Structure 1
């Protein structure tokens, strides 16, 4: 492979990684902006999960219901933390994607782009895995709630983790 062919091969990989990072960044920003523009729809979701007031009739979780958070101040603080995490995910992943796009054009920035994307993916993991699966799903028994968002959270985080593995890999030079 000639040097020119190698450069094209590497730039295509940078471009693919940039597109993936940018798409995740746009996703995070769309989710966050949707939560701000249509605040009430997802506020209801968060409020009911934290209050544990919509558990399925078959679930006898009286012992777990002592964990419920019914104070609107703390519920809104939790919702604000979710929106902040989604925003951080979006901004960091998009910035990382833009730097990888810069690298694809031959102007450098790949390492910083990957690092910013990694931080954005960490924000996503904290929101959708830790926040929804661990805290919401297990601590607040969201799995037994009519307001169960675990499967969506697992889908989001699965895609983001696969993307993280791909983006963090060294580029093939053959």
Structure 2
């Protein structure tokens, strides 16, 4: 039977591993986009240009929002990759500090880890919710584009928010 301190350590280990896993996701997405730049470049380019809209979509008012300048499109894509990398690094560092805190019972390490993880989650929300769901989805009408990534963005944000709620909670005693 685990004592109270062991139960708290198990919670910290679980939270640290979860934070590291989420950080690894961000790092893999960003590195995939850097190593194979074209992998998602086509997606970003077509959403911004609004040149692959569903046949039933004919709003000239919304299509006037399109961005066809390649330099601006590249700037958007590079900003996305930088956001993904920042998210991955912050969550990975946060997860590492949370794991270290499990073995040392030092609250300052735990708070540092949770703070870094929280900042990383904020960046992820800015990338996938603000960037993909709000700007891509609504401003550029991605919902009417054959290149529609809204459901994946919502799935990422949902998992990140659930993890953030769990990791942010204070560790509970077994009693």
- Coarse TM-score class (shorter-chain normalised): over 0.9
* Aligned-pair CA distance for 1:41: 2.1
Residue 54 of structure 1, CA deviation: 0.4
The aligned residue for residue 42 of structure 2 is: 44
TM-score with structure 1 length normalisation? 0.96
- Pair 1:170-2:170 in alignment: yes
1:125 partnered with 2:125: yes
- Determine the C-alpha separation between the residues in 2 that align with 1:93 and 1:77: 24
Hey, what's the Cα distance between the residues in 2 that align with 1:105 and 1:94? 17
Partner of 1:27: 25
Q: Following TM superposition, where does structure 1 have runs of at least 4 consecutive aligned residues deviating by more than 6 angstroms?
A: none
C-alpha RMSD of the superposition: 1.2
What is residue 137 of structure 2 aligned with on the other side?
137
Q: Which residue of the partner structure matches residue 65 of structure 1?
A: 63
Distance in 1 of aligned mates of 2:51 and 2:7: 55
Q: How does 1:77-92 map to 2 (within 5 A)?
A: 77-92=75-90
List runs of 5+ in structure 1 lacking aligned partners.
Answer: none
TM-score, normalisation: structure 2? 0.96
Alignment gaps of 5+ in structure 2: none
SS at match of 1:105: helix
In structure 1, the residue corresponding to 2:3 is in which secondary structure?
A: helix
